Structure 1
Amino acid sequence: LFGGFGRLVPLILVASLVGWVVWAMFETASQRRYIFGAKFSLGFGGDEVRIMVVGLLWALMSLVIFVVPIILFVSAFGALAEMDPSGQLDDQTAARFLGTFFAGFGLMFLFSLLYIFIATRLAPCFGLTVKEKEIRFFDAWNVSRGRFWPILGAYVIIVVVVSVFSQIISAIAQMLMMPFLMSLPVGDELPTEEMAAIFLSPAFIAPMALLYFGLMFVQGLTQHFVGAPAALAARHDPRNDLGDAERVDIFS
């Protein structure tokens, strides 16, 4: 199915799994820092596994919210794929494409607003899971009551900061990749196997690995700082406020 590039599939799967695990380790360490005041230390145990599950639930929630616009976009471009490549775009196909595309675009905008609202309300789920030592996804809705705007503002910051640093790292990666790209053959098309061998070479994988882990580091660092409102909302959940417990210990 993938030809010579089929050999890249295991690497992509392994990289995705590693990224998932590393993200869970950073997220758990960050939440422990905010909730318990613990030192920022990476490890892997029950907390990290629970955070991985919560992250998976978060991804599934996102998929459910955006599944309808995605289907419309796929349907729109599917209409173009069905036409004869050598023929012209007839009025019926054009109308079908434009109608479906703009319907998907409109729903994507509306569902994005819905996603922002739901994601902000459920943002404390990670801190709550670490705090309670059990998966607490939907219960975060109660914790974020009255803290919507501070949490949303923090996530606006993370988008801006990550975008800026991602552009910087991408520019550096492009500079590192330039010698490799300049060495690629031009003109006659190479067989798929030879192209796959080129993209599996250390000259390609090493810069891409640096870019991948660089982006992960920037994302983890910025996520730690701007995740404070959601984590502190979980820490000061009125039903089990750790701050109150600490004050009782001091005066007891």
Structure 2
Amino acid sequence: MSTRSYDFGSAVFRFFHVAGKNPAAVLWIALWQALLTGGLVYLAWVTLGDFYIWMFQLAASGTEPDEAELFARMGSSMALMPLISIGGVVVSLLAQAAWLRLLVREEIAPVFPFRIGSDELHLFVTNLGLIAMGVGAYFAFSFLMVIAAFGAAAAFSGGGEAGAAIAAGLVVGISLLVFLILALFIAVRVSAAPALSILQKRIAFPGWSATKGVFWPVLGSYIVAGIIIFVLSSVVGLILNFAFLGALWPTLSEFFTMAQAGQEPNPEQVLTMLTETLTSPGTVSTLIAAGLLSVILRSFVDAIWHGVGAYTALSSQPLAAPAGSD
């Protein structure tokens, strides 16, 4: 009987190992994910932007909106949001499949890295199964917790309202702790299911076998990957904050000058100043660049997280552990 091999470092750095071997593929997937996500964000802004600008203008002028016009604008603005939301789900699924194909099979679709095929279908059904499991567990636990709390309150009602309340609170607190522990255990045990579905080209729900015997190493890998993601996100977030501050600095500087002179701008002035700043070519370029960087970072964050599940799925196969585990 062969012994299961699981290398902690290779699991955490699976993404970096693949990126080092094929950096062009990593950048290509991240770029397309950023472009498609950015396009959806732009559509959402075009759909909702005019409505919120109109509302802000009314608030600045102190005018009450006409009810009929309000509902008409709201209806036209919200009509496309369900389609945009569906588009976001589709892009997320396509990106997840593309990353997992690269991380577990080291493959990338030519020219356009996203596609709709059997991999995406298997991944979609597997993800649906995981979501259904999570939602079902949540509602089942909530129902049982309410019953237990009422039962504890009834059992200790002889001690008065205070005793019943304390008993119910203890039951809820302990039940919540138990639920969190069970949720963590189940989440780790099924974490490799999406990667397994891409690796084996089948619906892999719930994927228990991939994490059998390696629960603690997998949990530790996700914790370390989460720390890496937190550090990267913090650094890039700091850069983005400075970029936004630089873009808005002309307007802020003008506000400071007016405040020092004892002048208080009226709402119309504030709106005009903000509009001029946000529509200037320099500000628009800065915001687009910062937004693109943010979305690309999100792509890399997704890939780093998927890397742990990808290595776990690969290491569960009867052959040797994946390359990069030595």
The reply to whether TM is greater than 0.5 is yes
1:123 is aligned to 191
Mapping of 1:170-249 within 5 angstroms? Answer: 172=241, 217-239=296-318, 241=319, 243=320
1:48 is aligned to 120
Q: Cα offset for 1:129? A: 0.7
Counterparts of 1:143 and 1:217, CA distance in 2: 29
1:21 is aligned to 90
Larger radius of gyration: 2
Calculate the TM-score normalised by the size of structure 2: 0.47
Provide the secondary structure at the position in 1 that maps to 2:120.
helix
- Contact 2:102/2:108 (<8 A) preserved: yes
Q: Cα offset for 1:69? A: 5.6
Q: CA RMSD in A?
A: 4.7
Counterparts of 2:136 and 2:198, CA distance in 1: 25
1:81 is aligned to none
Q: Cα offset for 1:210? A: 9.7
Per-residue CA deviation, residues 79-136 of structure 1 (Å, 9 max, x unaligned), is: xxxxxxxxxxxx97xx87x877775554333212111111111112112111222101
Q: Which moved more, 1:19-28 or 1:156-165?
A: 156-165
Counterparts of 2:144 and 2:87, CA distance in 1: 32
Counterparts of 2:291 and 2:86, CA distance in 1: 13
- Contact 2:123/2:197 (<8 A) preserved: yes
Provide the secondary structure at the position in 2 that maps to 1:59.
helix
CA, structure 1 residues 152+13, in 2 after alignment: closer, same or farther (shift >3 Å)?
farther
Counterparts of 1:28 and 1:157, CA distance in 2: 23
Counterparts of 2:289 and 2:78, CA distance in 1: 19
Q: Cα offset for 1:65? A: 2.1
1:114 aligns with 2:182: yes
Task: State the identity as a percent.
Answer: 21
CA, structure 1 residues 238+159, in 2 after alignment: closer, same or farther (shift >3 Å)?
closer
Calculate the TM-score normalised by the size of structure 1: 0.58
1:61 aligns with 2:133: yes
Report the count of equivalent residues.
202
Q: Cα offset for 1:63? A: 1.2
Equivalent residue for 1:146, pick from 183, 191, 213: 213
Q: Which moved more, 1:36-45 or 1:145-154?
A: 36-45
- Contact 1:157/1:226 (<8 A) preserved: no
Counterparts of 1:135 and 1:110, CA distance in 2: 30
- Contact 2:218/2:308 (<8 A) preserved: yes
- Contact 1:124/1:234 (<8 A) preserved: yes
Counterparts of 2:167 and 2:77, CA distance in 1: 37
Q: Which has the higher contact order (CA 8 A, sep 6+)?
A: 2
Mapping of 1:160-171 within 5 angstroms? Answer: 160-163=227-230, 169=237
Q: Tell me the amino acid that sits aligned with residue 94 of structure 2.
A: M
Q: Which moved more, 1:35-44 or 1:211-220?
A: 211-220
Q: Cα offset for 1:147? A: 2.2
Counterparts of 2:188 and 2:81, CA distance in 1: 30
CA, structure 1 residues 214+72, in 2 after alignment: closer, same or farther (shift >3 Å)?
farther
- Contact 2:145/2:175 (<8 A) preserved: no
Q: Which moved more, 1:168-177 or 1:27-36?
A: 168-177
Provide the secondary structure at the position in 2 that maps to 1:61.
helix
1:34 aligns with 2:103: yes
